[in-house]
Structure 1
């Protein structure tokens, strides 16, 4: 008896096995505040339904919208790991980094609102002009100023205790989340803002620096530390957990001590 030969092209395909990751996907509605200066007179809200996983971040959703739905969506991002600070934006009314905000930490039974940070000129969609922010940062001279040179081949020695005094304010990534969450900054474009004061603090209290009095003079201005109303918005908004309000209070005390 001859054996039947079945053409492999006609052989029934084996059922495809899909790995069960145990991670459930959800349809999430994002409402993004869009603005194109070449087309729009005023910003407008646009909604997008995106399939997401609870392990995804808001940045992943923005990527999916841009890559698969609307390529004209504009936003800043770089490292995507909470270090560069470039993707600061308002998510459900709070300043956050999109790369550090997990979908599972938000209420996905409701739309997720995403818009640009406040207080800085809006350029397009989620992008703002950061120059006023960096101008204040530069004005406080955020770099070490010393009247003496270290010994040849030696570092500037500092004790652990002296380092701890300003350790918290070395964590700033210049994302502007704190400054753009400040109600005073929203209404007064001349105010230095929390981030500039934090970076001044970092050098004012550095035992190796000799220009603390210069920075205190700069911040003892009507648009300096005395404009702070201690609302703690800045501390709440900081993605690095810096105690911003505490740092501002310490600079105020240093000004009073002279």
Structure 2
């Protein structure tokens, strides 16, 4: 397939910050073919820009059929998680200069989920696992008339796992999830952890029993892929280990 190019308009000079970068994107359109294929795009871009900026240039100026998810573009919504040069990353947080732009930049959908088109995958199984662990505060008694106070020490117990943005980078980096999509996956366990260890919540035992299932926390093989992939720096493997320990000791 011929490589589409996008040339920067206007005069150029030796001081121009733009470089020519090749994006090698894994394309899939079920309306055209059952097989995915790689397509190269060459664009002029400032290396201080992000991979997401490059994808925008391609979609807006070269091939409008290129399909991918993005929303806030600032690393908060988590919608633009994809595999960039073989690693799960957020396209909006990945700078061109940081991933060796002298070689083709490979972009493909995250693994372990059904690809709908190009870089867009079906996230429903991921979100179902998230819903299954009851990711909300559960208490008994009457609705309080004032806020539920909590000490700084109690908050610190689960602070790390409150950072999850549900991008699925951790879950789709997990070899167990690749081989068996029934596994809850790291993200669901992280979000269960956030409430299991919350001193205000009263459903820790219920969540632990959910994760004690054959497709639950014991499927983890501690490869640390999830921790390496998390764009928020959450110690995912540590959180999973703490849930395992709570299952054994029933102390949390």
The CA RMSD measured in Å over matched residues stands at 1.5
2:42 aligned residue: 49
Deviation at 1:151, TM superposition (A): 3.8
Could you tell me how far apart the structure 2 residues matched to 1:150 and 1:39 are? Answer: 55
Q: Matches of 1:193 and 1:104 in 2, distance apart?
A: 32
1:11-160 equivalences in 2 (<5 Å) = 24-149=17-142, 151-152=144-145, 154-160=146-152
Distance 2:124 2:16 in 1: 42
Within 2, Cα distance between the matches of 1:134 and 1:42? 26
Matched, 1:225 2:217: yes
1:90, CA displacement in angstroms?
Answer: 0.2
Equivalents in 1 of 2:129, 2:237: separation in Å? Answer: 18
Query: Which residue matches 2:3?
Result: none
Aligned residues: 240
| Equivalent pair of 1:169/1:247 in contact (CA under 8 Å) | yes
Segments of 5+ residues of structure 1 without an aligned counterpart are 1-17
Within 5 Å, which residues of 2 pair with 1:161-240? 161-240=153-232
Give how far 1:221 is off: 1.1
How far 1:162 moved relative to its partner? Answer: 0.2
Q: 1:140 to 1:23 in 2, by over 3 A?
A: farther
- Matched residue, 1:253: 245
Determine the C-alpha separation between the residues in 1 that align with 2:45 and 2:24.
15
- Cα 1:151–1:36, aligned 2, differ >3 Å: closer, same or farther? closer
Q: Separation in 2 of the partners of 1:175 and 1:250? A: 22
- Cα distance in 1, alignment partners of residues 141 and 113 from structure 2: 39
SS in structure 1 of the partner of residue 157 of structure 2: helix
Structure 2 counterpart SS, 1:123? strand
